Amino acid sequence: MEFGLILICWYGVLHAFAPDHLSAIINFSIGKSKRKTFLITISFAIGHGVMLFIFAKLLQSIDISHELMAYGDVLSSLVILTMGIYILYMVLANKIYLHKHIHNNKEHIHISFSRIHKHKQIDTKSAFAIGALMGIGGVRGMLITLGLINNSLDISMVFMFVFGVSLVFIVFGVFINYINTNILNKEQNIKKVFGTIGVISLLVGTNMLIG
C-alpha cells in the first residue's frame, strides 16, 4: 500500500506539469496577491484531484469506451481555449486595470477586469470549479496508475494525489507571484504579460484539440 501511495503522489506531480494545468493556474493567479495566488493554486489542486478520483472511481465499475473518455480531454482543451480568447479580448479592449491603494501604511497593487476595485472571493471558488471540470480529462491516466498498483480508491490516495499536484502548483505559484510583484507593477507591462498569457492559452488549447 505504501508503494501505491508513493506512485499516486508521483503521478500527481507528473500530472500537474501538463500545459493545460499550468495555463489554467496562470490565468487565475496572474495579477493577484501572494495570499490569493496561494489559495488559487491549492483550490485548483483540490478541485482537480477530488473530481478526477470521483470519475476514476465511477469508471472502474462502468464500461466506457476510450473514444468517449477522450471527450474529457476535449473539455479541458475548450476551457483553456476559452480563457485565452477571453484574456486576449480584455487586452485588446483595454479592460485590464491596475489599482494601487494603501493598507496599514503599505502600498498594495491589484489588477482586475473592472475599473472599480473590489475584494472578491470568487477567484478561489472559480479555480476550484475549473480544476474539478478539468479533472475529467485526466481520468484515463489515473485508471492506468490504479491498474499498476491493482488497488481501489480511498481517501488516502486522494490526499496523496492532491499533495503531489499541489507541490508543483505551489512552486509555479511562487513564479507567478514574482511576476505579479516585480513586473505587473507598471501600466505598460500589463498588456505585454496578459497578451502573452492569452496567446499561450490559445496555443495550448488549440494544440490539445488537434493533437
Record the pTM: 0.71
Residue 84 has pLDDT above 70, yes or no: yes
- pLDDT score for 163: 86
Backbone angles phi, psi at 64, to 5 degrees: -125, 135
- Is pLDDT larger for residue 103 or for residue 133? 133
pLDDT in tens, 6-23: 877 887 788 788 777 788
Are the CB atoms for 172 and 42 separated by under 8 Å?
Answer: no
DSSP annotation of 61: S
Q: Which three cell numbers stand for residue 48?
A: 482537480
Would you state the torsion angle of the CA atoms of residues 29, 22, 40, 146, taken in this order, to the nearest 10 degrees?
Answer: 180
Whether residue 165 contacts residue 12, with contact meaning beta carbons closer than 8 Å, is answered with yes
Q: Which pLDDT tens digit goes with each residue over 142-159? A: 655 555 555 556 677 778
The pLDDT of residue 109 is 62
pLDDT at 69: 59
